[in-house]
């Protein structure tokens, strides 16, 4: 039973094509969003960040010298 003969050049090119296709698929998933969807997501992140900052307490201004910063 002889071994199957393969063309190494074709095997290498097929392997490289598969790797490029995998990388392209990952990039499509990462960067393939429409502009409107990206802008909506950015706006939602900005609103969430502003909401978080609005609820944050200022450590030095509001504690009146009784907090851990005054120790």
**Is residue 17 included in any domain, yes or no?**
yes
Instruction: Count other Cβ atoms within 10 Å, centred on residue 48.
Output: 10
Domain contains 38: yes
Give domain status of residue 19, yes or no: yes
| Total domains, the chain | 1
Query: Going residue by residue through the chain (71 aa), what tens digit of pLDDT does each one get?
Result: 788 999 999 999 999 999 999 999 999 988 888 889 989 999 999 999 999 999 888 775 555 556 555 54
Cα separation of 47 and 53, whole Å?
10
63: number of Cβ within 10 Å:
13
For the stretch 12-23, pLDDT in tens is: 999 999 999 999
Rounded Cα gap, residues 35 and 29, in angstroms: 14
The answer to whether residue 49 is domain-embedded is yes
Give me the domain span that covers residue 28: 9-56
């Amino acid at each position: 039973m002889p071994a199957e003969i393969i063309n190494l050049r074709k095997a290498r090119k097929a392997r490289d094509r598969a790797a490029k296709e995998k990388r392209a698929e990952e990039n499509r998933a990462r960067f393939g969003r429409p502009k409107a969807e990206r802008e909506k997501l950015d706006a939602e992140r900005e609103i969430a960040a502003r909401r978080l900052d609005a609820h944050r307490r200022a450590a030095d201004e509001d504690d009146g010298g009784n907090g851990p910063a005054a120790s």
